[in-house]
Amino acid sequence: MKGSRKGPTPPTLLAWLDDASPDWQPAYPFDRKDVRDEVRSCLFVEQRGLCVYCGRRLDLARPGETYHIEHFRPQRHYNALSTTYSNLFLSCGQKDEHGKPSQTCGAKKADWFDEDQHVHPTYPNCTQRFRLMLNGSIEPTIDGDGGALNMIKHLRLDHPELVKDRSDVLMLIDGGYLDESDFWDAGEQLAQSYAHLVFQHVGRLLP
Ligand SMILES: [Zn+2]
């Protein structure tokens, strides 16, 4: 699980929330483009351009297709958190690359949440709750970790496409064809798909 190095609430969102009055209450989706754009770009930077769950690279120019704004605690059950910045992340799009409904990540998780048995997407703690095998499979670092098992199940982190992608990346690293520097652009502060796993594999942390 990729997770995020979460920052403070962006100023534009803060000002928008402060406009609350008896006549108007903030609600999701954001009704102002500047608020939406700033939230989106802050989330993107905090997550180094990757899906908060699987770690695939997102494309900000293609909303809906490659990403959506994800409510970690789902709006349906936690409506009061629908505009709370700490509850917002970016996750893969609602459709997969073949145009079918996505079978992984936030779209798959939908309204599921378990207050007692989950892994919060705080990097690097969340990544360390999972152990990655050379064949790309994933399991809890600690056997029987119910939170980690729940995330694997509800995000489908064990989906065959993700397993194959992760295996391919690890083969390139272990084969000496690429190293962690190929997955991190320090100038742009953005990462390539699965960079968090590459860094974990070589015993480092993604900046
Ligand atoms: Zn994803």
pLDDT digits over 123-173, tens only? 999 999 999 999 999 999 999 999 999 999 999 999 999 999 999 999 999
Ligand 1 geometric centre to CA of 193 (Å): 10
The confidence band for 65, taking pLDDT boundaries of 50, 70 and 90, is: confident
What's the pLDDT at 106? 95
Asked if residue 207 is part of any domain, the answer here is: no
* Separation of CA 58 and ligand 1 centre (Å): 9
Inter-CA distances, 91 with 15, 57, 134, 190, Å: 25, 10, 25, 15
Mean pLDDT of the chain: 96
Which of the four pLDDT bands, split at 50, 70 and 90, describes residue 94? Answer: confident
Question: Which neighbouring-strand residues pair with 140?
Answer: 130
Q: Does residue 5 sit within a domain?
A: no
Say if residue 96 is exposed, middle or buried (CB neighbours under 10 Å; 0-12, 13-18, 19+): middle
Q: What percent of the chain shows pLDDT beyond 90?
A: 93
Cα(19) to ligand 1 centroid in Å equals 33
Quick check: is 4 in a domain? no
- Give the domain extent around 87: 11-201
How many whole angstroms from 68 Cα to the centroid of ligand 1? 10
Cα(186) to ligand 1 centroid in Å equals: 22
Least confident of 46-60, 94-108, 114-128, 183-197: 94-108
CA of 37 to the centre of ligand 1 (A): 20
Residue 142's pLDDT is 98
**Ion ligand 1 contact residues with beta carbon within 5 A:** 51, 53-54, 92, 105
Q: Are 195 and 170 in contact (CB under 8 A)?
A: no
The count of structural domains within the chain is: 1
Residue 130, pLDDT score: 98
Looking at the predicted structure, is the pLDDT value of residue 98 above 90?
no
Task: Answer yes or no: is 93 within a domain.
Answer: yes
Tokens at residue 79, please? 């409506």
Assigned domain for 55 exists: yes
Residue 106 falls within a domain, yes or no? yes
